[in-house]
Structure 1
Amino acid sequence: MSARRTGIGLRPQANPQVEAWIRQGDGAAVSKGDLYSARLTLDVTPALRARIKVAAFTQDITVAEMLRGLLEREYPEPSS
């Protein structure tokens, strides 16, 4: 067998008009990254994780939505 490698070619030149159109979108869509730009990671026991997942499921929401709501209630924006 030969140990010959085939290289990957250069990335094609981007078309600025196409790139701008892709980034523009339809103007109405907002991605999660636009709303939530920080990620929080914490370790929990498997039993607690299961209880959290069941609670979210019974409320018909995602775990992330449920925990964001809980954190917003617990740590509201300071009043000015």
Structure 2
Amino acid sequence: MKNGKRVAIGARPPANPHADAWVRQGDGADIGKTDLYTARLTIDVTSALRARIKVAAFTRGITVAEMLRDLLEHEFPEKQP
């Protein structure tokens, strides 16, 4: 607010259902990805550990998220004995 004056923000434009459907559709490469990984997990690690994790993922040619998902799946399989 400058000088005590309020600036009005216009109304949101009406949604275009065709555009919204196109955005939700994606390019097909991520089909099912959101169905598999819908929860976010946040942990605190030291910056040194974070660096080692990032280097390991880069060396393997995968993302940190992919590497950690694989690690967690291995440690906590869906069907435990």
Q: Which residue of 1 aligns with 2:79?
A: 78
Aligned residues: 78
2:44 is the alignment partner of 1:65 = no
Which runs of no fewer than 5 residues in structure 1 stay unpaired?
Answer: none
Sequence identity (%): 67
After superposition, what is the alpha-carbon deviation per residue over 1:22-76, rounded to whole angstroms, capped at 9, x for unaligned?
43445x2326433310000111111211111111111111111111111111111
Q: Which residue of 1 aligns with 2:17?
A: 16
Which runs of no fewer than 5 residues in structure 2 stay unpaired?
Answer: none
Query: Judging changes above 3 Å, is the alpha-carbon distance between structure 1 residues 3 and 57 closer, same or farther for their aligned structure 2 residues?
Result: same
Q: Which residue of 2 aligns with 1:5?
A: 6
Q: Which residue of 2 aligns with 1:35?
A: 36
Runs of 4+ that moved beyond 4 A: none
Question: What secondary structure does 1:41 align onto?
Answer: coil
Using structure 1 for the length normalisation, give the TM-score.
0.72
Q: In angstroms, what is the RMSD of aligned CA positions?
A: 2.4
